Amino acid sequence: MRITDLLRFARERGEPIFSFEFFPPKTDDGVRGLFETVEALRPLGPAYVSVTYGAGGSTRAKTIELVKRLKRDAEVEAMAHVTCVGASRDEIAAVLDEVAEAGIQNVLALRGDPPRGQGGFVPHPDGFTHASELVAFIRSQPERWRFCVGAAAYPEGHPETRDLAQDLRHLKLKVDAGSDFLVTQLFFENAHYFRFVERARAGGVEVPVVPGIMPFTNVEQVERFTAMCGAAIPPPLRAAMEVRRADPESARELGVAYATLQCADLLRRGAPGIHFYTLNRSPSTRAIVAALRACEPWRG
């Protein structure tokens, strides 16, 4: 089912959607663990799951295979990430054909991160420089590809530019090219999300904006991710994290508690759902979604 339809049906019922993002494991044991995680999350009724590309498109084949298996074997709606990195137009077209033939109806169109060690993004000579170009390419052949297309949004600005006005112009290009919905980069302060949605609406962006949330499990992990994506850690949260730096279990509990409060506030104030960056682990996400379903803050 198309994600826009899932969002519409949920809105008609007065409920949010929950979705989970995974990355391709490097080993067979990791793949088995991923499917165990998906199975553990199934009772929570995920609207869909997605699988990322590695930096530089390094896991392209594994990503597509996992998305196909999730759709076929796990029987959950799946969204494939497709990036511009290191791929020509023909190679991207082949990926899109393979995904379409497997019955996948949803893709997340991204520029993608450069390979590790490469200073900045370098487009393929016969590829694309921006995600908006990839979206336009997908839309250029509507009889061949009938995907529901998502795109990324950056409430605190893209990590390569902190110019919020310029970032909004780039976002508008992606939406005008044919993006159906947006998923945000992770953030830890909800004001960033709501200010971003306000700016987007004022700028003519009307598609749904789903907030992306990462329940952190240890301090070093969250510091590493925020350094890469440019998300700010609010001072009270940073102080709470610091006293738990040497206590992984306490840090995980803080991550669950903070994300639960964050999600409850987002849903209470009208966010259409939550996209969880699971890091291929289920306990934290399971606890958060179970708590949200128990208290239903969106009805408050």
Hey, which residues are catalytic here? 21
Q: Which sign, positive or negative, has the C-alpha torsion 113, 80, 16, 75?
A: negative
Which residues neighbour 43 within 8 Å (Cβ) at sequence distance 6 or greater?
Answer: none
Q: How far apart are CA 222 and CA 204, in angstroms?
A: 33
Q: Phi-psi region for residue 110, left (φ > 0), alpha (ψ -120 to 50) or beta?
A: beta
Q: How far apart are CA 132 and CA 123, in angstroms?
A: 13
Question: In the numeric block, which tokens belong to residue 137?
Answer: 């390419």
Whether residue 172 contacts residue 142, with contact meaning beta carbons closer than 8 Å, is answered with no
Q: Taking Cα atoms as reference points, which of 100, 5, 94, 88 lies closest to residue 80?
A: 100
User: How many contiguous H segments (helices) and E segments (strands) does the chain have?
Assistant: 11, 8
Q: How far apart are CA 38 and CA 15, in angstroms?
A: 22
Which residues neighbour 234 within 8 Å (Cβ) at sequence distance 6 or greater?
Answer: 188, 189
